[in-house]
Amino acid sequence: MATRISKNRKAVLSKYSPEKAYTLEEAAKVVKEITFTKFDASVDLDIRLGVDPKKSDQMVRGVVSLPHGIGKTVRVLVLATPDKHQEAKDAGADHVGLDDYIQKIEGGWTDIDVIICTPTVMAKVGKLGKVLGPRGLMPNPKSGTVTLEVGKAVKEVKAGKIDFKIDKQGIIHVGIGKASFSVDAIRDNAAEMIHMLAKLKPASAKGAYFRSITLSTTMSPGVTVDANSIAGI
């Protein structure tokens, strides 16, 4: 086993330099070349921002629609009154209901990726905070998951709309695709995410905003992206 790891490590190091900063396109090419997993690994983008997340006016969060989706089936639950059920089903929701699913969640069921609900049922959904909060599943008006337009919200989430939020260390961590994606698709998705963050720069943030940008896959080392090579940020 040790030989295989060192072999892979050797192969990785022959294809890129950990000290070098690459353009977004080069980084996308490198992560594909240094991924040796037998499964289709996720491609992750980690961005350290020059903000203080403890200050409420420097909390960076939002939603972005990635042009090439994220390469995985997003399981969506819609919690709404019966008049919205058909609209949700027609849009492709995997699960639709209200009290029945609230009971399931209270019992510990969370076999879903996104929950969308209408404002009218938010009081009921709010009581699930202890279960949903730690798993990042709580619907939120800011991310478009508390809405009267449930059909539209389901379609957007299924098409690759993701929400993101800065962590306590000032880092945004998002999955932006799969290793099987083309170099262009990885580059486009990463650029879309970075440009969205540029738009959300807090007015009170001081100094360099993009401190570091790293592209990696599930098992690969991180490839540093040169922020200066990205137009428009």
According to CATH, what is the number of the domain 19-70+162-229? 3.30.190.20
* In contact, 28 and 157? CB cutoff 8 Å: no
Nearest Cα residue to 213 out of 31, 33, 52: 31
For the stretch 129-160, pLDDT in tens is 999 988 889 999 988 899 999 999 999 999 88
Beta bridge partners of 173: 46
Give the pLDDT confidence of 42-72 residue by residue, as tens digits: 999 999 999 999 998 999 988 898 999 888 8
- 143-147 — which CB contacts under 8 Å span 24+ positions? 143/61, 143/62, 143/63, 144/63, 145/114, 145/115, 145/116, 145/117, 146/116, 146/117, 146/118, 146/119, 146/122, 147/116, 147/118, 147/119
Confidence at residue 201, expressed as pLDDT on a 0 to 100 scale: 95
What are the structural domain ranges in the chain?
A: 19-70+162-229, 76-159
Phi, psi of 117 (to 5 degrees): -140, 165
pLDDT in tens, 92-141: 999 999 999 999 999 999 999 999 999 999 999 999 999 998 888 999 99
CATH of 76-159, one of 3.20.20.70, 3.40.718.10, 3.40.50.720, 3.40.50.790: 3.40.50.790
Asked whether the whole model's pTM tops 0.85, one would answer: no
Longest Cα separation, the chain: 61
